[in-house]
Structure 1
Amino acid sequence: MRKTIGISLILLLLIASCQHPVRQEQKQIKTEKQTPDFLDSILVHKKLTALTDYSANTYFIYRGERMGYQYELLKAFAKYLGVSLDLRIEANLDSSFKKLEEGKADVLAMGLTVTQNRLKFLRFTRPLFYTREVLVQRKPDNYQKMATADEINSHLIRNRIDLGGLTIHIRKGSVYYQQLRSLQNSIGDTIHIIQDTLSSEMLIREVAEHKIDYTIADEFVARNAARVYPNIDVKTPVSFEQKIAWAVRKDQKHLADTLDAWLMKFNKTLEARLLYNKYFKNMRVRRLVKSKYFSYTGGKLSPYDDLIKKAARKIGWDWRLLASMIYQESEFKPNVTSWVGAYGLMQLMPETMKEFGVTENSSPEEQINAGVELLKSFESQLPDSVTDSVQRIKFTLASYNGGLAHILDARRLARKYGKDPNVWDNNVDFFVLHLSEKKYYHDPVVRNGYMRGWETYEFVKQIFDRYKSYKLLIDK
């Protein structure tokens, strides 16, 4: 009997010892679940929210098209996840860190330098690339007439020891402050550091325009700027090579691991090499940055901005919204013809061109005015029950692209299935998107049959996505 009891006790102890790690694991899982998983949220809501800044290397608009290294990289990652990209602009680094911590963004895509201090509150991805910090200074005024490079160099700072006594402007919140403080300590001399709210690119411009004498910038930013401003020198390094990466919240290991896995695979592709060369090696940057259609310095979207502003007043739209639509239709090309025969800036169909007296010889102004008249016609036929101005514009755009009859079919489907027929977003747009499916286009309430609804859905979505960017980057 004692032997049996002994064996039973041993078995109980063994069972308890086996269960203990399980309890610990369950406890750990419970703790982990208390931390919000941004990746899960991104996949569930089908949206990646990213913060970037506004510069020639990150994000800008050129001739109406959204561009930038960080922007295109983010688009590629969003596509990999199968989600949409919600890109937000934030120039202030401290505000960016705060918004990330508050969960108002999933990722910071600003080409951040990885530092020990930042590692305390951020989780960085694997490096996008490596760079170093350089001193940006002006060449001597008569440098073009100097016979040799040595003669030019004799007027420039080439040794970090010589930074003592200089006044150097830097971007507020950047890593350059600590770097200069460290250098100051190393050389045993004072460096006068002025923290400015301007971006690194704008500070470089101030050096070129003789408004300040010195600034610090990452080498890849400075070298691109030197193509635009030939009177600046960017050859004096003030740091060792450093990692440039994206960042997520410290507790978002799952998202960071996913980013790392994607970057490792993406960086081996031709697409990645072409993207890097496009923004950091292609000499086209010089022409682009000097253009009046470069949003960072020029502020114009197209050669037709004044005509678009005038026409937009006739329909009561923000001109940037109308410009976004025109870009969607024709990329501001007045003589383009689509595969279905639509022509010009507003991509009017042949029958519509006849109705409004437009020909292939019509001026851009006549094309835009005809398109606006067609928009007004669609808007006037919408039911008065669509009262919200933004929703009304979305219905108008959808009618312009897909035809009013199909949009009215989608409204009837929305009403039948318990959705709001007077709201486009997450209501009528769903049925437009699915009007290519038999279940819906064979429904008794549908009077006009099949529709390539995904095209209209994307038409409205992309116009408003682009319009959001235009509002951020182009003055009203």
Structure 2
Amino acid sequence: MEIRKPSALVILKSITTSLFAGLLLTASSSLLVRSTPPTLLEQVLESGELHVVSSNGPTTYYEGPTGLTGFEYSLVKGFADSLGLKLVLENSSDPDAMLNGVINQQFHFAAAGLTAQESRGKTISFAAPFMQVTQQLVYNKRLQQPTSIGDVKDKEVLVLASESHSARVKALQAAFPDLQWRNVINAEQIDLLEMVNKGEADYAVVDSTVYSLNRYSYPKAELAFDVSDPQPVAWAFPQGSDTTLFDAAQKYLTNIKADGTLARVTEEFFDRHIEEVTTGEAMSFTYQLEQRLPQWVEHMKNAGTEFNLDWQLLAAISYQESNWLPDAVSHTGVAGLMMLTKNTARAMGITDRKDPQQSIRGGAKYLSIVFEKLPKRIQGEDRLNMALAAYNQGLGHVEDARVLTQRMGGNPSKWEDVRKYMPLLSKYQYYSTAKHGYMRGWEPVKFVDNVRNYYKIIAWHQQQEEFRVASASNINRLSANTQTTEKEVKGNNLQAMPSML
């Protein structure tokens, strides 16, 4: 049998056919891959942006001294960061509009303190809850604490009569028909707390989140007990077959619960407060004057000289911010002696916020900048106090407070007037029309008061220290002069005495 070798032409045809078949197979595979649409998570990752709808407010998000902050904002920002995405936040004050926007895929999800209500379940999928909210009875502390509904039977109890709370009010009234419910219109829950705190009402029902955020501002309105079962608060996603983004959120929420991040963020926003300086705290502060402050004084004096500030004022601010602990860190991102944010530190040319010298200089520079940016008509102590308030909350919020002060008939250039109206910016009635929105309006007032009180103690302590040093110096000089005189007298006496030899 003769075996013929294939000709070169046959080999070439074979190679060409194989190559064509390979290219065809590759193209077919590519078409198959491309025919499968990307998942929602893949689309979001490809876009590089996470679009979330929320509402400006105390538990969601608001503008801080150097940018957006807030409890739910911190959680959402953490989720966006975990995916390497830029967070794009949209604002809405209407819960129904938010959910419709989510259903219509205008937003990836809603994060606005929403309770996971079953009636929304057909079109909305709620992620794992990250907190619970209950309705609580508060009372004026001059009264005996009620421990059950029976203790307030036939007593008048305030409740908010707004459209968003109508279902809760009806449920409460149905559950406790023996109570005398007083529906308060054109108000907010914080107004109910204020009325109880002032003694204008004995009892009121508010959400647990509202009480937690404001209990230090209204110390005479104390918690009695819960009057409702806990309701889960969660993010709202559109229902659908593609749950990839929803699943990623679920994983993130599981992780932050497990590693303690959720607990830390919750504590940061709901347990954070600035207390007034009490006698005991003043004594503790005086003790730290000797234990911690001396090592930072030179840096403070240098920064004070550079930016034309009293070093004792810088000392007072740093104690209020960090208790003079250079490694102090807050979950919100501020760190160091002067508790600077990353953005502020970068703007001030600071590379290491925990470096005491850099932190002090950065804080001094920032204070001098906000001091200079205030309107020139604000002078003297008023200017300093408003600069301190701006250091704490940002110039934008201080300007909002000044606008509100003028609107209310006060003098926007006088701190005593501005401090009176600044806390109102924690109420929706006022912050809803403010350029920079919600602020923890009571915090800058207490911040300024505390810093000024610490400043007075430091100045007094410094005067006493200088007096002590001066007195010691005088005593030493007097002692030296006395010793010299004694030697001269003894010498003269020795010369005057006859020899005994």
Give the TM interval when normalised to the shorter protein: 0.3 to 0.5
Which of 1 and 2 has greater Rg? 2
Give the TM-score taking structure 1 as reference length: 0.47
